[in-house]
Structure 1
């Protein structure tokens, strides 16, 4: 999970120009307080070491007075030495004094008036000499050996020193708190000042404006370079937006031009067939069968024109009510190219598989357009006296349409465009682009066998829109 997600929501809502200085100030404050705590701990250790040193110095003098009495085994003399020591109150004040044997038994002891009986610490016998604060930190136990076996023990009153230490601790804490707050505030201000260029850049970028020259501080070379770079980037962005707008307008005009050219290309062929039917009607209008056939052909041509216009102007196939392909559509395509074929001396023949149903489950409009374009190209590629064949058959899952001509062969790059479904500008004219678009719309596949002597053999495989299994 990103670190920012683990931060409180209120902190994430703060501006970056506040968050970063706040973090800097907090880090400075924590560092200052932490160093003070370390210093206080060091002072405490030094205090304890000083108390232990003072205690050992005190015991040195006391030991010198006790040794003669200890060597003579005079317990009363040892008690007298201890009591006289208690009577001296200048400097360090002692509370309890005692002399212990090797087993920790008390040989002599004395205590200041008003003091309760002392409980000797159990760790006195663990070391030759030592010091330890009492539990209330108001006294310190110190001890040392006298002759290798006996020990002298004292409890010294350090209340005054403890109070002074505590006062010193609070003064240091308050001073450190004040210094930490001042340093944190200074760090916050410095961080905010350092972020000022970033804040200015963000403010102007949000408005889509370049930074004015008077806001660029030349005395700060790094910030000045950053601001000038942002200005160049903003200028480049505006130029790119203007260029993209111009390109979009040009592309729109180009699309409209291609749409108009494609529509004109697709409409021209049915119109040519209708002109031929009108000429037939004028020539053989007195014959009922010829007149009926011509009128039916003109009607189908008008319907085909409407379907061509609808299919060209829409971006998706019509749903539900789209007309299915019929065998009559195949013969209509043959008649549409017949006039052009006669002028070129080319024969166009349709070879349909026996037993084909009158209606096939594929879109009629798209198939008619594809076949019309393929047959027109085939007729124009075939020499006079040649033949163009349209073969139609059906297998289990697809309708297979083959257009075979006896021309000079299709250019390899045009054949590749048809097979790959990627027409290139200037290759094959509008017809190739229309074929590719319609075959993709029909979810079909194209294969091309083109060579210079045997003409071109184009195979279309169009999946049938079969009803679902019951």
Structure 2
């Protein structure tokens, strides 16, 4: 827009001023400049200088700034051709062109254009452009955030399901699976199948453990019945023999020895079972309840012997807690309470 304005102004003046400059008619040049400034946008055209071919001023729209006979080089130093006019941020632009008549250069034209209003318009346009870009960027950022949030929502659901499992995988509900996204839906379906497989494996391990426990219990019961049944048969036979031959001391003695061996065998079996299956209490503290168990055992023997049992626990519970409930293995240290 600015380059077109400068070109039209300079070309129009060149056509009108060429003959007058060739004749060195200063008053006609002034008249043409005055009519051109009246017809042109006077607010933009600040100064127009017409010089002869020697570079001396013939006429100007402001004679005080450019008197007749002055060198025009001082005004056209920063001037450019009309087709090279560009907005540089300077409110005053200088335009220079040659005056030619029939191919002969007869002078020069230097014009100062005031582009303050154009700079203001460009500045306002830049501000609106920045504001528009900022709003568009904010809107696009918000839309992108919404889109990313919607895309990552199933992933967040999957992460929460894995975090809340606490060691046991929890499947994702059917309502939370994004069927519109084939990739994520396949991922969550795979995870659900994995959780189902883990649950089935845990259930199978639990059933196998119970089965093994029942098998072990059955084997133990069978072995225990066998170990008890054999001496028990001998004890029953010995009891029948004593009852039948009670008048024969030798037979009674032999039967009593047989019964003693059978009872010792039963005692050994019982001890072996207790040693194998009892809880290890060596690392547990001694409690008053342990003494109450002893009291129940002693009361039966004291009642059988027609004796009185005076049972008191004088040690404090804190003192008892410092002692083990059972002696340590491979230790001969005795504790006295």
- TM-score, scaled relative to structure 2: 0.49
Name the structure with the higher strand share: 1
- TM-score, scaled relative to structure 1: 0.36
